[in-house]
Amino acid sequence: MIDIHSHILPGVDDGAVDVPSAILALEALESCGVERVVATPHFRASLLERAGRAAARLQLFDEAYAELISAMDVAGLAITVGRGCEFKLDAPVANLDDPRLRLDGTRYALVEFGSFHVPPFAGNQLKAVHDAGWVPVLAHPERYFGVEHAMERVAEWVDEGTLLQVNAASLVGGYGPAPRRIAAALLARGWVHCIAGDYHARGEPPWTAALDVLRDEAPPVPEWVCQLVHGNPGNLLADEPLPG
């Protein structure tokens, strides 16, 4: 798998608390078949209104990433770790010009809404990202309160070019029955572009259980699943369009 959403940078957010826990998390991801992962620590758009604070947070990310890569070399891990962030749309303007805010510096940006509700101006927020020249990849749409009753709005987002990333844990009820039900509905409509771990370096990664659900607990993994966990994420990180 290629996982475009994780919280494995040590000591920067609610993910890995230090380098040893980050290494253990990477070992766990590697053991369940993840060959490439993007570290996507939380970053708020509102921070950009204060240039000094934004620069300090990005420097913190830089230092944590360098420390992690050094520790990975010592540990002999084969998994590849890229850079990005989970960009919270909590300000009217979302300036994603800094490549560290996008997935491996590509045109694709992992974004989330400012709260776990679907905001009334969600479409405008996503459009602003498009208008700036980037492609929003909306993290865990199945987890936003109210999304189940706003599927026509989700259809509009997808039609306008927003990509949807569903969490693997949602597929096995890791966030409760509603996100599981919504994730299944999004998959059934063909609106999901990527499945990712959103792994916070605690417990077991959700990948093995999620793949069992998606393949109906029997090999082989269907081609459409391979596309969501490997093909499409690989296209994003190569800065290529998704296949039609």
Instruction: Show the domains of the chain with their CATH numbers.
Output: 2-237 (3.20.20.140)
DSSP class of residue 230 equals I
One digit per residue, the tens of pLDDT, for the chain of length 244 reads 999 999 999 999 999 999 999 999 999 999 999 999 999 999 999 999 998 999 999 999 999 999 999 999 999 999 999 999 999 999 988 899 999 999 999 999 999 999 999 999 999 999 999 999 999 999 999 999 999 999 999 999 999 999 999 999 999 999 999 999 999 999 999 999 999 999 999 999 999 999 999 987 667 889 999 999 999 999 999 999 999 7
Can you state the angle between helices 51-75 and 19-31, rounded to 10 degrees?
60
The amino acid at residue 144 is Y
DSSP class of residue 173 equals T
Which pTM does this prediction carry?
0.97
User: Which of these, 26, 30, 27, lies nearest to 8 by C-alpha position?
Assistant: 26
Q: Distance of CA 26 to CAs 2, 69, 139, 196, 233, Å?
A: 13, 11, 21, 14, 18
Burial (Cβ within 10 Å: 0-12, 13-18, ≥19) of residue 133 = exposed
> Is the peptide bond between 220 and the residue preceding it cis, with omega within 30 degrees of 0?
yes
CA distance 74 to 72: 5
Instruction: Give the containing element (helix H, strand E) for 143.
Output: none
